[in-house]
Chains A and B, each alone.
Chain A
Amino acid sequence: MKALPAAFLVALAIYPLIFQMPFPQHVVIMALLFATLGTAWNILGGLAGQVSFGHALYFGIGAYTAAWFYKSFALSALVTWPVALVLSTVAAIVVGVPTFRLRGHYFVLASVFIMQAVYIVVSNWGALGAAIGLELPVHRPSGALDALWHLQFHMSKLPFYYGVLVLFIATLAVFEWIRRSRLGLLFAALREEEDAARSVGVDTMRYKLLALIASAAFTTLCGMFYAQYVLYVEPVSTTSLTISVEIAFIAIFGGVGTLWGPTLGAFVIIPVTELLRATLSGQIGLGLSGAQGTGVMATLKYLAAGGGGQVDILLYGLMIVLIARYQPRGVLGFFRKLD
């Protein structure tokens, strides 16, 4: 069983050399991206026990910083990453200091409300394109160095693939390093018995902030990656509660607080939802009745016609409810018995 992670990483490393079509590479790139996001989230959520639904803020900071600088000055993330990290750290402190004084549900809800507030601000902010967002100009690279400078590689996905793979491994490494270190012990104390920790003089605020800053930093780097990869940044797909929830969910679904939980979550959810969407919504829309009525017959006809692509979300929701009911430790809980 110990060999499994190593084998997994090796498989990831050689995957794009075997599957050379862009779409299969894209699916794994997105899975790796979300695995990284989930693992980064897990530093705060799993190790330090602070469940946050506000991580899209840091993702958005990364995405918009990359997009804005590239669009305005043709400076890609290769150059602007320090700016993004500084912004991310500042945001983490600004958000963390007031909200870490809250406990339990108040903290979680505070993260939701802050996320919504950020979304309102971003989607009304002209310089960031408001609701329309920012499109990063396409650049045809004139050579390898030029491509690297602009982080645009014409049609090849390999640089993106290996880039996100490196980010993924780095995040895993940092997560595990923290977990095994003294810092990890302090985080565990925060998580399990915060009052006790405080009563022996642990500066809980400082450690919570550290966890958030680390978590936010990797999330921001993922945001920059996203912007350079997709070349279009807008509020709903980068800085919304939906994204925050997706990130948190992948971690919780896979197994909070474990090293591989979020990765498992990402590699199950992302390919499966892509698959469900492609097959179930591909050939639909036949003989829709335009009336607003329902009724059993209409529903059955609708189901027969493929369900209009909502089936995947329905199954997703059902899956979550069932897992929450029967295996609250997440999918990894199913596998723990094998260990």
Chain B
Amino acid sequence: MIYAQVLVDGLIVGLMFALVAMGLSLIYGVMNIVNFAHGEFMMLSMYLCYFLWTGLGLDPIAAAPVAAIAMFCLGLLLYRWIARHLLGASMVAQMFATFGLLIFFQAFANFLWKADARTIGDNWATGIFTVGGLYFNGPELAAGAGALLTALALFWFLNRTETGLCLQATAEDAQVASLMGINTDRMYALAWGLSAATVGVAGALASTYLAITPLVGANWALPAFVAVAIGGFGSISGAFWGGLIIGLVQTVGGFLTSPSYKLLFVYVLFLIVVLVRPHGLMGKR
């Protein structure tokens, strides 16, 4: 019975990783930039939801759309001010810049809100459901469901709308896309906005049960980077499946040995996958 519990938990956290990983993969696919500050969107979104909760009594799940829009704008801003200038820059310069953003955002949060953690108390999702001996924690169940829905929405957007297809075309080959009349600058901006927005939703969902600190984005989201690397940079569906795999591996591995080592399994899995397939399971060449 407890193994079923472990698998379910793994799937739920995997869905959250999947959502975060997809956003990261989106930017890479379109611009060839790894946004090391990706987790910080999640952190900022969580703080936003926290303050909406304490200030306006807005439930985090209801705040998810608000967080998504706020993060979308932030993503656009960052693209305009910084990311745009990184196109074609050396990999080192790109890393330097996004890492600098990471440090800046963490220091910013630390400065304004200090390092002690905040938690959101009882909200819509609170509660425990028992189904056949398995314990489902309301907030985490809601997070898993929300993550799945958002992931599906993103898939739908990318594959069934014209803008989404333009985005994919830009990712495929920016030069050709631009020759075909696609405004690549707009596509890049959109990628950043969407990426930040999806992570923002993840943050809102997570704020119902995770502790909010300036480092929560960086710490929690690191496996999402592994997920993208395993799934293959540039592949959104790869990121999705990568996220699920990571969630399962982490929870099961941690349970079988000791949770202190749960991340170790994730990193070892990464090494195994990239040894066999250096571009990840479904990555762009």
Q: Tell me how far the C-beta of B95 lies from the nearest C-beta in chain A, rounded to whole angstroms.
A: 7
The yes or no answer to A336 lying at the interface (CB within 8 A) is no
Measured in the bound complex, the distance between the Cα atoms of B238 and A332 in whole Å is 40
Interface segment out of the listed B10-18, B68-76, B84-92, B136-144: B84-92
Closest to A103 in B: B278
Sort chain A's interface into a size bin: 35 or more
Complex contact B263–A314 (CB within 8 A): no
Contact of A106 among B103, B105, B260, B274 (CB under 8 A): B274
* Nearest 4 pairs of A and B residues by beta carbon: A317-B104, A320-B100, A324-B97, A328-B93
Task: Known contacts A105-B233, A317-B100, A320-B103; decide if A110 and B271 are in contact (CB<8 Å).
Answer: yes
Task: Known contacts A113-B267, A328-B97; decide if A120 and B260 are in contact (CB<8 Å).
Answer: yes
Task: Known contacts A104-B91, A117-B263, A318-B104; decide if A325 and B110 are in contact (CB<8 Å).
Answer: no
A124: B residues at CB distance < 8 A = 260-261
Complex contact B112–A299 (CB within 8 A): yes
The yes or no answer to B157 lying at the interface (CB within 8 A) is no
Measured in the bound complex, the distance between the Cα atoms of B108 and A51 in whole Å is 27
The yes or no answer to B1 lying at the interface (CB within 8 A) is no
Interface segment out of the listed A26-34, A63-71, A198-206, A305-313: A305-313
The yes or no answer to A252 lying at the interface (CB within 8 A) is yes
Complex contact B107–A313 (CB within 8 A): yes
Interface segment out of the listed B57-65, B163-171, B179-187, B222-230: B222-230
Given A105-B229, A105-B233, 13 more pairs with CB closer than 8 A: A105-B28, A106-B233, A108-B91, A120-B263, A124-B261, A292-B54, A299-B112, A313-B103, A313-B111, A316-B107, A320-B103, A321-B82, A325-B82
Q: Tell me how far the C-beta of B183 lies from the nearest C-beta in chain A, rounded to whole angstroms.
A: 23
The yes or no answer to A86 lying at the interface (CB within 8 A) is no
The yes or no answer to B125 lying at the interface (CB within 8 A) is no
Complex contact B100–A314 (CB within 8 A): no
The yes or no answer to A166 lying at the interface (CB within 8 A) is no
A329: B residues at CB distance < 8 A = 93
What secondary structure prevails in chain A residues at the interface with B?
Answer: helix
Contact of A105 among B91, B101, B111, B260 (CB under 8 A): B91
Measured in the bound complex, the distance between the Cα atoms of B114 and A299 in whole Å is 11
Measured in the bound complex, the distance between the Cα atoms of B267 and A323 in whole Å is 32
A245-268 interface code vs B (CB 8 A; 1 in, 0 out): 100010011001000000000000
Contact of B113 among A98, A113, A294 (CB under 8 A): A294
The yes or no answer to A139 lying at the interface (CB within 8 A) is no
The yes or no answer to A114 lying at the interface (CB within 8 A) is yes
Q: Tell me how far the C-beta of A122 lies from the nearest C-beta in chain B, rounded to whole angstroms.
A: 12
Task: Known contacts A110-B274, A324-B93, A325-B85; decide if A116 and B101 are in contact (CB<8 Å).
Answer: no
What secondary structure prevails in chain B residues at the interface with A?
Answer: helix
Contact of B96 among A112, A113, A120, A252 (CB under 8 A): A252
Complex contact B229–A106 (CB within 8 A): yes
The yes or no answer to B275 lying at the interface (CB within 8 A) is yes
Complex contact B96–A324 (CB within 8 A): yes
The yes or no answer to A21 lying at the interface (CB within 8 A) is no
B90: A residues at CB distance < 8 A = 328
B103: A residues at CB distance < 8 A = 313, 316-317, 320
Measured in the bound complex, the distance between the Cα atoms of B96 and A307 in whole Å is 26
Q: Tell me how far the C-beta of A108 lies from the nearest C-beta in chain B, rounded to whole angstroms.
A: 7
Measured in the bound complex, the distance between the Cα atoms of B89 and A329 in whole Å is 10
Complex contact A317–B95 (CB within 8 A): no
The yes or no answer to B106 lying at the interface (CB within 8 A) is yes
Task: Known contacts A102-B274, A292-B118; decide if A320 and B99 are in contact (CB<8 Å).
Answer: yes
Complex contact A310–B107 (CB within 8 A): yes
Measured in the bound complex, the distance between the Cα atoms of B118 and A320 in whole Å is 28
A-B pairs with beta carbons under 8 Å apart, 14 shown: A98-B271, A105-B91, A105-B229, A106-B279, A110-B229, A110-B270, A113-B225, A252-B96, A308-B114, A313-B110, A313-B111, A321-B100, A325-B82, A328-B89
Contact of A116 among B81, B112, B260, B263 (CB under 8 A): B263
Measured in the bound complex, the distance between the Cα atoms of B284 and A105 in whole Å is 12
Task: Known contacts A51-B95, A98-B275, A109-B225; decide if A314 and B34 are in contact (CB<8 Å).
Answer: no
Complex contact A120–B91 (CB within 8 A): no
Measured in the bound complex, the distance between the Cα atoms of B132 and A87 in whole Å is 52
B105: A residues at CB distance < 8 A = 317
